[in-house]
Structure formats: structure tokens, C-alpha cells
Amino acid sequence: MTAQVIDGKAFAAGLRARVADLAATFEQAAGRKAGLAVVLVGSDPASQVYVASKAKQTAECGMASFEHRLPEDTVQADLLALVDALNADPAVDGILVQLPLPGHLDEQQVVARIDPDKDVDGLTPLSSGRLALGQPGLVPCTPLGSLMLLKDRLGNLSGLDAVVIGRSILVGKPMAQLLLAENCTVTIAHSRTRDLPEVVRRADIVVAAVGRPEMVRGDWIKPGATVIDVGINRLPPEAGQAKGRLVGDVAFAEALEVAGAVTPVPGGVGPMTIAVLLRNALVAAHRNAGVALAEAAL
């Protein structure tokens, strides 16, 4: 039987609609809009597209969008000064610095400078610590979006075997923490993992976040498993085409033959990333303004 294709685009649209409803209620209660600031340094083409989408979707949800585009040769001190100014701005509830930053900048220092109460990316040391300790806080967008898709498909995840392939700060590590908090038995696999296919074959849940096109093959997947593909890789263009095809880290057609459910690329986890960012910005706005929010509604 063919696997269910998990429609992240539709799920993200539903989440954005809920955010928009609650953003309007927030504006009534707080007497101002919730505000999200996004900082882009340089001209990476993919980052430009993501930042433009973030600004557009923020405004569509009825929140204030503050976009800061800085030149490629921006120095660390100037970027830190902008973060400081956004930290101090009462109209800004959430701050996101688009990653990756140009190589000459110290990413960790920039992220750590963000006020944890405005850390809608969930990447500051305090947010990471809270997640590890099981304390409430803001959680990185892609892992939280992936968890929402998993819970929507599977309900209770308790006791399931989960393998996360990749150990990045942005996805792999927080994803593993979230699955652990749901009482999964979690394995984090990475480039040095021995016999990766065999490790993956044991998993009821596979989260692939390695950045290697179609690396996870169909015969690695346990029959009926739920596969979340976080990879977004552009293949070289075929003859006569300007752009190459987008593929994930999972061989999608092969996975469809074995898995119980699988996210497509595009249209799976990707759209959830921005929808969860808007959700996090709204959560931060409520906390910063002292307005109550039933977070379960999101």
C-alpha cells in the first residue's frame, strides 16, 4: 500500500489562520500589534526568498513586520548593535537573524545576544537550556513544526522508536529533545554513525535532517514508519531547464512504497517553519505584554 503523503502546506495554512485570529484578539487586548523583526545579512538567494516570505506572512497574519537587510560586508559590532536596538524596542516581540550568516561573522555570538524573551527561533543558550530541562520556552521552528505533523498523524508518540539523522543546533538536537519529551526512545544519528541503514530500520519515526539529497533509501525504512523529511536540496538543472528540482534527504518515491506516511519536498516541513515562527512571535508577544494566551489553541 502507498504511504500517506503528509500535507505540510495545508497544515501550515491552518496554523496561520489560528495565529491570525489570535493576533487580532491580542491587538484588542494590548492596544498594539504583535511585532516580528527579521534580520538578513548579505544576498544569499534562498535566504532572500525566505525572509521575503516571512515579512509577507507576518503582515498577512495581522502582525507588524520589521525587516532589516544589511550588506554582505557588515561587521560583527554593527550587527550586534542592531540586535541590541531590537532587544530594546517595545514594538518588537520577536527577533530572528536569518541563518546562515556570511562566514566572517560569529553566528553563535549574534544569536546569544538576542533577548531570550524575544528569541522566536529558540536558539539562544537559555532557550536551548529550557528545552533540555523540560521548562516552558520558545522552541526552534522546524523541529516544532515537524513535531506538530507527527502528533497530527500518530497522536500519542509515547514509547515509539525515533531516529533523528543530523545533529545541528537548528534541527537535529532540538528535534531529539522534543521527541524525548514525548517519551520516544530517541537515537541521534550523524555522519560517523555506523551502519546507518540498520539504525534507521528500527525506527517507527524517522526525521531526516542531513542536507544530502535522497540519502535515505526506501529499503532503510521500517514498513509503516512515519518519515519526516527536513532536507531541502536543489539538484543540478536538467538539460533545457533553468533550475534544478528540489528534493529532500529521503528518496521520496521509494519511501512511499514502504512507509506509513511521509512528508514531501516541497510542501512538507518547509511551510511549517514559517507558520511556527509566526506562532512563536505571537506567543512571545503575549508573554511580553502580560496578556494571557491559551497556547493549546495554537
Ligand X SMILES: Nc1nc2c(c(=O)[nH]1)N[C@@H](CN(C=O)c1ccc(C(=O)N[C@@H](CCC(=O)O)C(=O)O)cc1)CN2
- Cβ-proximal residues to 81 (8 Å cutoff; 6+ apart), any chain: none
- Residue 241 annotated to the active site: no
Closest CA to 122 of 145, 155, 90: 145
- Residue 121 annotated to the active site: yes
Task: Say how many residues touch ligand X, by CB under 6 A.
Answer: 18
Contact predicate 101/41, CB 8 Å: yes
189 binds ligand X (CB under 6 A): no
Give the cell for residue 133: 530541562
What x/- string results for residues 126 through 165 when contact with ligand X is judged by CB under 6 A?
Answer: ---------------xx-----------------------
Does 169 belong to an annotated binding site? no
Q: Which is nearer to ligand X, 29 or 112 (CB)?
A: 112
Name residue, grid cell 494571557: 292
Residues numbered 77 to 136 that lie near ligand X (CB under 6 A) are: 96-99, 121
Contact predicate 210/182, CB 8 Å: no
Can you give the C-alpha Rg of the chain in angstroms?
19
Q: Which is nearer to ligand X, 119 or 204 (CB)?
A: 119
Catalytic residue among 121, 204, 229, 249: 121
Q: What is the DSSP letter of 237?
A: P
Residues numbered 240 to 269 that lie near ligand X (CB under 6 A) are: 246, 265-267
Residues numbered 11 to 30 that lie near ligand X (CB under 6 A) are: none
Closest CA to 277 of 58, 8, 1: 58
Smallest separation, CB 248 to ligand X (Å):
8
Cβ atoms within 10 Å of 277's Cβ, excluding its own: 28
Q: Is the backbone peptide bond immediately before 174 cis, with ω within 30 degrees of 0?
A: no
Q: Which is nearer to ligand X, 213 or 271 (CB)?
A: 271
Q: Which residues are near ligand X by CB under 6 A?
A: 50, 96-99, 121, 141-142, 170, 232, 246, 265-267, 270-271, 273-274
Residues catalogued as catalytic: 54, 98, 121
Binding-site residue ranges: 166-168, 232
